[in-house]
Amino acid sequence: MPDSDKRQDLVVFIQHHVSATCVECGKDLPKGTLIRFQREKGTLCLECSDLDHLEFLPAGDAAITSRSRKYSRLWAVVVKFSRSRRRNERQGILAEPEAIERALAESEADSEERERRREREAVRRESLDRRYVAEFAQAIREQFPGIPSGADIKIAEHACLKHSGRVGRSAAAKSFEPDSVFLAVRAHVRHAYTDYDELLFKYDDRHLARERVREKIEAVLEEWRA
């Protein structure tokens, strides 16, 4: 498919119905959750859409938004349905955390931006459970002793942020199970070591994109297992 055929932006909705469920994993998607909705595919959670590694950047600063889009291999527009105006309204974008970071850093000259960046980093740190991250990273290294140093922590932090909404030791223990660890590592490899995100952005077709990167992912995982 040539570039000129790139369809409209990827759109993520803020779920506005009383309740909804993901058609793939069956997860509950309460009002306010970010979802994808396509008439032919139904409602999908962000995890099943492979967009859960992206971070929300609220609308408000056009320069930062446009830079974040530019630096992100994959981004989506976030909209919310306004009942009173009967239309979808833009709330911001989802972009790669590193892209947002870079966009904010470039506007550091502005002190207000510097403050905003500090706040963002503080919120992120606060929501990280150090013990959870250490345990998760340990579980990763047991399964993948050859993982490059730093990658284990990165994956563990992501798992921790994702996990932070769920409570209880049993839920935490479940995420340390070999299958959960494997899925977290594989998702990281997919995004960080292949051109999966570019493919997903271009074609908006997970199945096609996954097929194209399957071998590369297997090769990386094989190397890390040793």
Q: Which is nearer to Zn ion, 113 or 204 (CB)?
A: 204
To Zn ion, the closest distance from the beta carbon of 66 in angstroms equals: 30
Min dist CB 91 to Zn ion, Å, is 21
DSSP secondary structure letters along 1-58: --GGG--SPPEEEE--SS--B-TTT--B--TT-EEEEETTTEEEETTTTT-TT-EEEE
State the minimum distance, in angstroms, from the CB of residue 27 to Zn ion: 5
Shortest Cβ 197–Zn ion spacing (Å) = 18
- Residue 46 CA to residue 52 CA, distance in Å, equals 5
Given the complex with Zn ion, which of 45 and 155 has the nearer CB atom? Answer: 45
- Cβ closest to Zn ion, residue 27 vs residue 225: 27
- Residue 209 and residue 217: Cα distance in Å, rounded? 12
> What Rg do the C-alpha atoms of the chain give, in angstroms?
18
Contact footprint for Zn ion (CB under 5 A): 22, 24-25, 27, 45, 48
Helix axes 62-71, 97-106, angle to 10 degrees: 130
Q: CB-wise, 49 or 65, nearer to Zn ion?
A: 49
Nearer to Zn ion, 22 or 147 (CB): 22
| DSSP per position, 159-212 | HHHHHTTS-SHHHHHHHTSHHHHHHHHHHHHHHHHSSHHHHHHHH--HHHHHHH
Question: Tokens 């909209």 belong to which residue?
Answer: 79
How far apart are CB 211 and Zn ion at their closest, in Å?
20
